[in-house]
Amino acid sequence: MNRENQTISLLTPPACVPDYKILSDAAIHDLGLDYICGQITEKKSEQTLCLSILSKMTENPEVTRYRSDVFADIYRNKAMRDEMLRILDKINFLRDYGSIGRTYEESANVWDLMHRLDELKDYIQYVEAIFKSLSDAELHSEGLLGLKEYTDNLYHDNGFSELKKDIEALRATTTELRSVTVGINLNDRFEADGIGLISINNKYFTKSNLLDTFCEKISMKDAIKSDTEWKEEYKYHPFAAETSKMPDIISRRGIALIPDGDMMEDVPRYMNRVTNQMLSAVVKKLKSVLDQYVSVTITDITELIPEFIYYVRFAEYIERLNGRGLHFCKAVLAAGAADERMMRAKAFYNLKLATMSAEGREKIVDNDLDFGKECLVYILTGANRGGKTTVTQAVGLLFALAQGGIFVPADSFTFQPVDCIYTHFPADEDRTTDLGRLGEECRRFRQIYSDSTENSLLLLNETFSTTSFEEGYFIAKDAVRAILEKGIRTIYNTHMHKLAFDREELNRSYDSVKAVSLIVKADGGNRSFKIAMAPPEGMSYAGDIARKYGVTYEMLVNQITVHDDE
């Protein structure tokens, strides 16, 4: 395999260059993605990572398929994902603090070179560990099977098996070094004026008499003696240093050669020179090996770490929610043509609300919903705070999670991906901006409509409701006609029941796509949170508002208290 131009990713199929659109900050907030990412991990950096991946959307179905398969493998192989995180973390440490792939000075000493070689040895072991971890798991995804093949080829293409042998041979040589014998020349005043090498040995010095001290010094250059007994002709290998620059490293406090004060720092420098001279053949071999493998890079594998963390954190999150009785499924790509713009969701629910429900805040209700040419634009009506916003948000989350490869909160979900999700939520639902002015609402809607395509998802929440009913209805009707003209999958939840009643008039100009009425069903005056395709259950936008604020005749004369959650 040729690795020169190869990259490996767990988010994008090989040779795929998708076009991405980025969710706006408003859409991220309206969908609750910022809240969800805040729940899956406590680390701010990981929250930002997950949000950045989810907010990059593409309609390319191959990206969705690829990610979904990778996530399924990671979710179902807990031991593998834990081991992979451990290994990738170690490789990341090597990248940040190691020296693999970096140039080294020709003057580098044996210890520097050995350290670099040890890092290569560790890296080889990590590559082997990744391959083994993936081999031990039951994998089906193209992404992880590709990573397994990639690490196997990485090992063989770089000749790591031969490098392992070289490392072991070099380590076997250098680890024999246990002591160094040096010779010191003295002047007439018995001051040190020269130092030279005599031998290096594979044993520590323990004790010796005066004769041994002067005799156990002899060794051939580049050889390591097997003991400290005198057996050969005395040989002396002086350093090429000027006598005047030779530091006085001899202490007069006894026979022990102990450097005085700051001179201690000179000992390692001189010992490096000692070992480099005595191990000149080893140094040469080290440099030869490192020159051969200097092109080895760990960048490609470390770039997988954020992608892997993204999948793992969501897998852990879904495991926690599974433990609380919530159900999830793997999204399935629709087999039809992309222009069908279909979606079929069974028993879906709002994931943000479900996460909050685990803290006892709301009761979770699931629903079914389809998109298709015959039901492309939903005009959703119902009682105030009956669940319209919850349903609208839930549908957006289905698409965002599915296209991110994550299991979705539903029994089943079949769909064709969207190129982006556009939201238009008013001020009382989105507290981050002031959208009270009709002109501002119109400006925002025009921009959203201009940016969207027939492959987008449009979520409108009480759009054009900040003016009188007559004015709002007039603008909303034209907006729905324009949406049908472009053919955008849309949920428009509104108090303007008349808009849903007039759907036949709206559909009259379009043969291939239709707007339909969707309601949140009333349950004896209580909020059911269940939706159904049916005509609106009332005409009174003003009546909903009056009940919301307690200004109906009955509520006023009987002094009925209004609660915020009603």
CB atoms near residue 29 (< 10 Å): 19
Give yes or no: residues 114 and 247 share one domain: no
Examine residue 355 and state whether it is found in any structural domain, yes or no: yes
**133 within 8 A of 87, measured Cβ to Cβ:** yes
Question: How far is residue 124's CA from residue 25's CA, in Å, rounded to a whole number?
Answer: 43
**229 within 8 A of 217, measured Cβ to Cβ:** no
Question: How far is residue 136's CA from residue 73's CA, in Å, rounded to a whole number?
Answer: 12
Question: How far is residue 364's CA from residue 370's CA, in Å, rounded to a whole number?
Answer: 20
Question: How far is residue 397's CA from residue 380's CA, in Å, rounded to a whole number?
Answer: 17
- Give the full edge-to-edge strand order of the sheet including 343-348: 332-333, 412-415, 343-348, 367-371
Question: How far is residue 43's CA from residue 58's CA, in Å, rounded to a whole number?
Answer: 27
Which amino acid, 493? N
**455 within 8 A of 419, measured Cβ to Cβ:** yes
Give yes or no: residues 499 and 386 share one domain: yes
Examine residue 288 and state whether it is found in any structural domain, yes or no: no
CB atoms near residue 493 (< 10 Å): 26
Q: Which residues of 451-463 are buried (b: 16+ CB within 10 A; e: fewer)?
A: ebebbbbbbbbbb
Angle at 7 between CA 2 and CA 13, to 5 degrees: 110
Q: Which residue has the tokens 């009709």?
A: 438
Residue 224 tokens read as 């390591």
Question: Would you list the DSSP string of 164-229?
Answer: HHHHHHHHHHHTT--EEEEEEEE-TTS-EEEEEEEEEESS------HHHHHHTT---TT-EESSSS
Residue 20 tokens read as 């991405």
Give yes or no: residues 429 and 494 share one domain: yes
Give yes or no: residues 156 and 217 share one domain: no
pLDDT for the residue 69 = 98
The answer for residues whose C-beta is within 8 angstroms of residue 468's C-beta and 6 or more apart is: none
Give yes or no: residues 347 and 372 share one domain: yes
Q: Which of 397, 391, 399 is CA-nearest to residue 461?
A: 391
pLDDT for the residue 283 = 66
Query: Any idea what DSSP says for residue 176?
Result: T
**464 within 8 A of 437, measured Cβ to Cβ:** no
Give yes or no: residues 429 and 490 share one domain: yes
Question: Would you list the DSSP string of 467-482?
Answer: S-HHHHHHHHHHHHHH
Count of domains in the chain? 3
pLDDT for the residue 247 = 43
**78 within 8 A of 318, measured Cβ to Cβ:** no
Between the CA of residue 335 and those of 178, 338, 418, what are the distances in Å?
Answer: 70, 9, 15
Give yes or no: residues 162 and 203 share one domain: no
Question: How far is residue 276's CA from residue 81's CA, in Å, rounded to a whole number?
Answer: 44
Residue 294, SS3 per DSSP: coil
Give yes or no: residues 108 and 215 share one domain: no
Question: How far is residue 114's CA from residue 270's CA, in Å, rounded to a whole number?
Answer: 18
Examine residue 41 and state whether it is found in any structural domain, yes or no: no
Question: How far is residue 400's CA from residue 23's CA, in Å, rounded to a whole number?
Answer: 10
Examine residue 474 and state whether it is found in any structural domain, yes or no: yes
Question: How far is residue 514's CA from residue 506's CA, in Å, rounded to a whole number?
Answer: 8
Residues in the chain, pLDDT under 70: 1-6, 99-111, 169-178, 180, 195-197, 199-200, 202, 205-283, 285-286, 289-297, 358-362, 427-437, 523-528, 538-545, 548, 563-566
Examine residue 470 and state whether it is found in any structural domain, yes or no: yes
The answer for residues whose C-beta is within 8 angstroms of residue 211's C-beta and 6 or more apart is: none
Residue 431 tokens read as 């507290």
Q: Which of 491, 451, 379, 427 is CA-nearest to residue 21?
A: 451
Examine residue 498 and state whether it is found in any structural domain, yes or no: yes
Examine residue 23 and state whether it is found in any structural domain, yes or no: no
Quote the distance between the C-alpha of residue 322 and its chain's center. Answer: 22
Examine residue 565 and state whether it is found in any structural domain, yes or no: no
**184 within 8 A of 217, measured Cβ to Cβ:** no
For residue 202, give its domain range: 179-278
Give yes or no: residues 193 and 161 share one domain: no
Beta-strand pair 343-348/412-415: antiparallel
Question: How far is residue 495's CA from residue 538's CA, in Å, rounded to a whole number?
Answer: 10
Give yes or no: residues 208 and 121 share one domain: no
Residue 484, SS3 per DSSP: helix
Give yes or no: residues 95 and 193 share one domain: no
Give yes or no: residues 132 and 205 share one domain: no
Dihedral of alpha carbons 348, 352, 355, 358, sign: negative
- This prediction has a pTM of 0.76
Q: Which residues of 502-532 are buried (b: 16+ CB within 10 A; e: fewer)?
A: bbeebbeebeebbbbbbbbbeeeeebbbbbe
The enclosing domain of 488 has a CATH number of 3.40.50.300
